[in-house]
């Protein structure tokens, strides 16, 4: 093994240690007890909740029934919004209809967003040149926004 290869291997191990240790320490944001309680009532099946603090309140990223989900809760523990990751194959038909005019496009990611009483879908798709876009679609199939990523 050359000296350069030994150095690369050593640097790689240091990187691995750093990732491992930081992953072990991650997710240590703790919401107030009443927020955690409200979350537990809303999502009793939640696994591995990781909390973030943002301007609206608290955000939990977690697994729920084998899907990734994000719940945003206000400072008083009220549910503001949920985001559910969906397999592209299970995207609602109107998502595919909205995407149809984009010839040879491919659906890469679908997130169902529920806020107040409204449901929208945030999708990521790529065109035939592999350029990527994020599109927001209403439950009625209307395209609310379509921006390059």
Of 30, 34, 40, 48, the one binding other proteins (CB under 8 A) is: 48
Name the H helices within 26-143. Answer: 33-42, 93-99
Task: Tell me the C-alpha distance between 42 and 65, whole Å.
Answer: 13
Among 35, 62, 73, 95, interactor with other proteins by CB under 8 A: 62
17 binds other proteins per the rule CB under 8 A? yes
Residue 133: name the closest of 142, 143, 120 by CA.
Answer: 143
Where does this chain touch other proteins (CB under 8 A) — which range of 23-31, 33-41, 95-103, 138-146? 23-31
Q: Does 27 bind other proteins (CB under 8 A)?
A: yes
Binding residues for other proteins restricted to 89-148, rule: CB under 8 A = 89, 107-109, 111, 122, 124, 130, 132, 134
For residue 79, what are the CA distances in angstroms to 69, 110, 139?
A: 13, 21, 20
CB 6, min distance to other proteins, A: 13
Q: How far apart are CA 60 and CA 84, in angstroms?
A: 12
């Amino acid at each position: 093994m050359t000296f350069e290869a030994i150095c690369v291997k050593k640097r790689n191990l240091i990187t691995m240690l750093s990732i491992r240790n930081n992953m072990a320490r991650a997710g240590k944001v703790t919401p107030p007890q009443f927020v955690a309680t409200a979350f537990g009532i809303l999502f009793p099946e939640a696994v591995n909740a990781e909390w973030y603090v943002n301007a609206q309140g608290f955000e939990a990223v977690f697994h729920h029934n084998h899907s990734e989900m994000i719940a945003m809760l206000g400072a008083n523990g009220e549910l503001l919004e949920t985001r559910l990751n969906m397999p592209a194959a299970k995207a609602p038909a109107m998502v595919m209809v909205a995407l149809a005019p984009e010839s040879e496009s491919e659906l890469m990611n679908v997130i169902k967003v529920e806020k107040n009483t409204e449901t929208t879908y945030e999708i990521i798709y790529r065109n035939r040149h592999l350029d990527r876009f994020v599109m927001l679609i209403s439950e009625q199939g209307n395209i609310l926004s379509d921006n390059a990523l």
